[in-house]
Amino acid sequence: MEKRIIECVPNFSEGRDMEIIKEITDAVEAVKGVHLLDVDPGKDTNRTVVTFVGGPEVVSEAAFQAVKKASELIDMSKHRGEHPRMGATDVCPLVPVSGITMEETVKYARKLAERIGNELQIPVYCYENAAFEEKRRNLANCREGEYEGLKEKLADPEWKPDFGPARFNERSGATAVAARDFLVAFNVNLNTTSIRRANAIAYDVREKGRPVRKGDPLNDEIIKDEKGNPVMIPGSLKNVKAIGWFLKEYGIAQISMNLTNISVTPVHIAFDEVCRKADDRGIRVTGSELVGLIPLKSLLDAGRFFLLKQQRSTGVSDEELIKIAVRSMGLNDLHHFNPEEKIIEYVMINKEKKERLVAMNLEAFMNETASESPAPGGGSVSSYIGALGVALGTMVANLSSHKRGWDNRWKEFSDWAEKGKKIQNQLLRMVDEDTDAFKGILKAYNLSNKSEEEKLLRKNAVQDATKYAALVPFEVMKTAYSGFELIREMVENGNPASITDAGVGALALRSCIRGAFLNVKINASGLEDKEFAKDLVFNACNLESKAMMEEDAIMKLIDSRICPEEKKKE
């Protein structure tokens, strides 16, 4: 399964005392599995924005520990700063990055808010998607009156906090916890020095749009409605804020955008729309820049978008998709764009890379397999064989997509290549997952078993780890089996010159499935839950039989195509 990752971006009401900030971030980093990405203090605002990512459970724990530490170190009765604020930890939003839905993130946010309220006795308001009522969705409403007006606000039944006591906490104030969409700061570079023209393009695209003016658009008089609010012409992009400004360092104007919901308006759509609006005004876009980090999916989607415009297959590697995205949007225009430093998942992976099998080159993986270390073993190798098998099917799909004379079929084969890429990536992830499962068994056996209670805990841990170690190769079998559909399609309808490549893919999938089945059986034999073990082995056995029939049918089809005279003799 895709790794579950959320981001947390708490804002603390301290931007001048670096020792306090360090103690708070130390509390974050003390939680295993959390990756601290950025610490951004501001002296004038007296506020620090911290960014960290990880699995939802560990991020929630790190967020709580940071809020707790801030409540111990920051005294809001002495705080002064330019930015609106109401608490030592002013806001603490959770943001889904990958493998987790907004609905799930909301649950984690509310659970965190409840824990802060109950254990730290800090009033907590839930905003954005975590809000319990509409008027609290907007952070400005929750923070209205700020710290100085908080005592009076808490006395109003309408503003009873969602969690925690409805009484004034003089030292810590109140905290707002949210689940919100990922926000991307994205700037587009123009071949002009005119701020006015840049602003005109910004008004064209931003959701708020521009005010309606009387007669001449340059006239300063703005038309207002009966309530005195400006009448606006909406821009073309939803969930986008934008302004134009001048970069003195580079001598160019830019459109500076905040994409507040990249699932509605992704970076590639924003870039393309700015290009269109700029062109309408006789201005060219020369490139763009991403401020801060971005989820991997955003750049992969951008790469696919630009490949589809070229009528090229999108079933290529992540690295190739990222290259296409970077080149198409000119992300190298002002600064070198390093995916290892700008993509959230890559920043996380780089810290773990040395321990992962999939980060090894082919020779290193082979040598590690041949060493006296018990892992990687047959399970990891089976999964890798399966990934290679599906990769061969994906290769045939990509070759077919670009075959001369088949131009009208490029999308058909691109879709198959996309399916293949997804399966091979799943199998590749399971190379390490199988080894991790084996290590889990060893870890369980190493638990203390001196007392009766410890013996029971150790026994249960061993059983849980063994069950997981049996389920992982079964998942490998199911995932690999789904690759036969691609292989068969490529043999029947793909590039005839590559039919034997697809055949090798079928052989690899069969070997992967049979190898993984061995691991299912040996781990299931150690389970005390015999009913579960019996059902698992039965289902795995059926899957192995189906795989062998698929492989046999595919090989017969290939033989009939490459050795038709043999078919006649029969």
331 secondary structure, DSSP code: T
Contact 64, 111 (CB under 8 A): no
Instruction: Let me know: does 494 contact 396? Beta carbons within 8 Å.
Output: yes
CA distances from 61 to 54, 65, 371, 536 (A): 11, 6, 38, 35
Whose structure tokens read 């003195």?
A: 248
59: left (phi over 0), alpha (psi -120 to 50) or beta: alpha
**Do residues 179 and 128 make contact, with C-beta atoms less than 8 angstroms apart?**
yes
Indicate which residue of 90, 181, 432, 434 is catalytic: 434
Q: What is the 3-state secondary structure (H, E, C) of 448-499?
A: CCCCHHHHHHHHHHHHHHHHHHHHHHHHHHHHHHCCHHHHHHHHHHCCHHHH
CA pair distance 13, 129, nearest whole angstrom = 23
| Residues whose CB falls within 8 Å of the CB of residue 284, separated by 6 or more in sequence, listed in order | 190, 191, 278
Q: Is position 434 annotated as part of the catalytic site?
A: yes
Rounded Cα gap, residues 489 and 495, in angstroms: 10
- CA-to-CA separations, 408 to 311, 341, 402, 464, 540, in angstroms, rounded: 10, 39, 10, 52, 40
Q: Which of 40, 75, 79, 83 is catalytic?
A: 83
Instruction: Give the H or E element holding residue 321.
Output: helix 318-329
What residues are labeled active site? 83, 434
